[in-house]
């Protein structure tokens, strides 16, 4: 069935619904949908099979071939056509995107994360910054992580600022929200049954073990703590070992997103070294 074209001429209920999705977490959670704009995020959402519920655009200016092609092949239920000033009101950018989208949220189901023999998973406990969360999602995507788990009282995964910081990687990486560390116990057992032993490696500026001295070539779950408080006591108890990134200068710690990128690079470096190691 082709999309239903609805023309919006004022800040009516349909406009208000999308605007509130953009601004309010509670609305996003209740309706299980969120706001997306930009060429790469929309391309990624389509490439990875996410459900687009609506596209919004203006006919007050010519659309590019890209936008026309997206709309021509759209499976969204609704296309909203609106005046350019209203599109500009919805956009989070200085130069509004040609297309805005309303996308359905997937379930927060740990089964979305594939359980591979060389498992790479990141857990981020109580992230407070949408920029940090989005950057870590981007790094996870870049370094071949199988999935990200977000635990505890955290910034919204589907906040427009988070999505923007991922530059589209949100749609390529299974990201699942879990209330608390204790809720992961059944999933850990499921992993052991599926692939066998794995390690849980926590990260802390106060740990004594250099991450480069820990073998990360086997199935590994890396755990990152809150930007201010670090790892919770519950997660420290779950971890097999705590590692650190040695630093110098006057800084006492690294930004969590920077630390995550370094840790993931080190894990990837170790695994590539094993693959390319000459046979004895």
185: three-class secondary structure by DSSP: helix
pTM: 0.94
Residue 83 region, left (φ>0) first, then alpha (ψ -120 to 50), else beta? beta
Q: Is residue 280 part of a domain?
A: no
Note whether 148 and 124 are within 8 A (CB). yes
Confidence of residue 248 (pLDDT cuts 50, 70, 90): confident
Q: Is residue 263 part of a domain?
A: yes
- Cα separation values, 32 from 25, 53, 103, Å: 10, 11, 9
Q: At residue 279, does pLDDT exceed 90?
A: no
Per-residue pLDDT tens over the stretch 118-170: 999 999 999 999 999 999 999 999 999 999 999 999 999 999 999 999 999 99
User: Which residue among 63, 82, 104 closes a domain?
Assistant: 104
Residue 277 pLDDT: 64
Both 164 and 50 in a single domain?
no
Burial class (CB in 10 A: 0-12, 13-18, 19+), 221: buried
Strands 220-224 and 199-203: parallel
Q: At residue 194, does pLDDT exceed 70?
A: yes
CATH of the domain at 259: 3.40.1280.10
Confidence of residue 280 (pLDDT cuts 50, 70, 90): low
Residue 111 pLDDT: 97
Average pLDDT, the chain: 95
Whole-angstrom Cα distance, residue 127 to residue 140? 15
Range of the domain at 53: 4-104
| 276 φ/ψ angles, rounded to the nearest 5 degrees | -95, 5
Both 175 and 66 in a single domain?
no
Q: At residue 278, does pLDDT exceed 90?
A: no
Query: What is the domain count for the chain?
Result: 2
Both 35 and 148 in a single domain?
no
Both 37 and 73 in a single domain?
yes
Q: At residue 253, does pLDDT exceed 90?
A: no
Both 121 and 260 in a single domain?
yes
Both 83 and 166 in a single domain?
no
Percentage with pLDDT > 70 across the chain: 98
Name beta bridge partners: 120: 220
Both 195 and 270 in a single domain?
yes
User: Which residue among 52, 70, 104 closes a domain?
Assistant: 104
Note whether 136 and 64 are within 8 A (CB). no
Other CB atoms within 10 Å distance of the CB of residue 229: 10
Both 33 and 114 in a single domain?
no
54: three-class secondary structure by DSSP: strand
Per-residue pLDDT tens over the stretch 70-128: 999 999 999 999 999 999 999 988 888 999 999 999 999 999 999 999 999 999 999 99
Whole-angstrom Cα distance, residue 44 to residue 34? 15
CATH of the domain at 59: 3.30.1330.30
User: Which residue among 104, 135, 150 closes a domain?
Assistant: 104
């Amino acid at each position: 069935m082709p999309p239903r074209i609805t023309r919006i001429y004022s800040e009516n209920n349909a406009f208000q619904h999308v605007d509130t999705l953009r601004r309010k977490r509670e609305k996003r959670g209740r309706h299980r949908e969120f706001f997306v704009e930009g060429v790469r995020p929309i391309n990624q959402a389509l490439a990875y099979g996410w459900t687009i519920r609506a596209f919004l655009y203006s006919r007050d200016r010519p659309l590019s071939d890209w936008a026309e092609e997206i709309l021509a092949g759209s499976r969204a239920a609704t296309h909203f056509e609106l005046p350019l000033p209203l599109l500009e009101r919805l956009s989070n950018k200085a130069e509004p995107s040609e297309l805005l989208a309303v996308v359905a949220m997937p379930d927060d189901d740990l089964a979305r994360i594939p359980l591979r023999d060389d498992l790479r998973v990141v857990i981020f406990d109580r992230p407070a910054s949408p920029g940090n969360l989005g950057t870590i999602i981007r790094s996870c995507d870049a370094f071949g992580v199988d999935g990200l788990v977000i635990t505890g009282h955290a910034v919204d995964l589907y906040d427009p600022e988070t999505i923007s910081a991922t530059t589209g990687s949100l749609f390529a990486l299974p990201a699942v929200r879990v209330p608390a560390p204790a809720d992961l116990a059944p999933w850990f057992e499921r992993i052991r049954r599926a692939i066998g032993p794995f390690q849980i490696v926590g990260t802390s500026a106060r740990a004594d073990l250099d991450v480069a001295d820990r073998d990360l070539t086997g199935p590994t779950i890396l755990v990152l703590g809150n930007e201010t408080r670090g790892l919770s006591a519950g997660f420290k108890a779950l971890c097999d070992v705590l590692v650190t990134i040695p630093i110098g200068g006057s800084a006492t710690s690294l930004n969590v997103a920077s630390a995550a990128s370094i840790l993931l690079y080190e894990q990837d470096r170790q695994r590539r070294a094993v693959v390319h190691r000459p046979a004895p």
